[in-house]
Amino acid sequence: MSTAAQSRRSAPLHSVSVAGAVVREDGRVLVIRRADNGRWELPGGVLEIAESPAAGARREVLEETGIEVEVQRLTGVYKNMARGIVALVFRCAPVGGSERTSDESVAVSWMAPEEVTAAMTEAYAVRLLDALSDDAPHVRIHDGRRLIPA
């Protein structure tokens, strides 16, 4: 086996996650307080091998919040450089269900956009703010907390 092939085999792999930026008609956005770290974030998680990104976003939002959504458009691609996670974020509209917590969420809330920046770390707040902008999709990198300039 060539050195290049060995290097590729030993290189860490990326993980792909999906998240839903769910926006109500009144402009409030759906967020969860994660059970594992206590942080406010968008509902989302790891994309399963056999599912499309949009289907994964719908599934994750429903699992974590009880809200059924219609996926509207991709609003951003975000890479956590420290963990090798690439997240695809989709703007969604709520179409059914009712808020509830899950094993992964200890709280579910609808925040006003101005509350997002105070409640979330920069790397996660920007995902919601990007979803509200008209110039999406955005491509950004971060260290898990703060954005890294491109």
| pLDDT score at 150 | 76
List the chain domain ranges.
Answer: 12-148
- pLDDT band for position 11 (cuts 50, 70, 90): low
Model confidence at 2: pLDDT above 70:
no
Q: Are 127 and 90 in contact (CB under 8 A)?
A: no
Model confidence at 4: pLDDT above 80:
no
CATH superfamily of 12-148: Nucleoside Triphosphate Pyrophosphohydrolase (3.90.79.10)
| pLDDT score at 136 | 76
Question: Given the structure tokens 């499309």, which residue do they identify?
Answer: 52
Amino acid at 127: R
